[in-house]
Amino acid sequence: MPFRDLRRVLAQDGRLFRPSGLQKQLDSLIGVCQFYFDHMDEIMPKIVDHDAYSQDLARRAAEYFSRHGYAGSSMRKIGTHLGLSKSALYHYFPTKEALFLACTHQVMGAFTSLPIAPDATEAQKLAQLRDLLRPGFAREMALIFDYLRGKTAEEIAADEAMQLALSTYRSAVADIVGEDAAETALALLLGTLLLEFMSGR
């Protein structure tokens, strides 16, 4: 029932408003209730899709990691970039490592839908993949090496973010050359890009 109708219903029995002080109190209370009723959409918090919002945060945080490196990206700085407090960011990602893993999922998710021409030859597809990787290769490799700094071989082998990235790259190459040749083709692909970068080409 709208609160403006509540006053009319209560007014049907005049005894409810004796003494006059009670009537004023009821009028005041009804007025406050009416205000909240009229502004409910503004007052009540909007329902947020937690998963979708987390993915959006990870996508935007990935851009920050890429520009500033892993060591140079604190949760406070990333939160400021995202328009969140550090504590709010920790609500979605309990650690910096968890955030980096979520970022890796976002980046690798986009990698699985690269526009490789289906009717091209194997060599042409590998060349297309190389060309698609080339623009951001140097910055992404710098980020990976920064992230892996100080980790042992065992830690790298157990690192979920790195294994996700490696398996995604390997899968993309395997789709072109097959599983048996994927490891060699991937090494050649990454080696070519690294050589280009180091030689300034």
How long, in residues, is the chain? 201
- pLDDT above 50 (res 2): yes
Q: Would the pTM count as exceeding 0.85? A: no
- pLDDT above 70 (res 64): yes
Q: When comparing pLDDT for 43 and 168, which is higher?
A: 168
The alpha carbon dihedral of 172, 174, 176, 177 has a sign of: positive
At 109, is the pLDDT very low, low, confident or very high (cuts 50, 70, 90)?
A: confident
Output the average pLDDT for the chain. Answer: 83
Cα separation, 169 vs 189, whole angstroms: 10
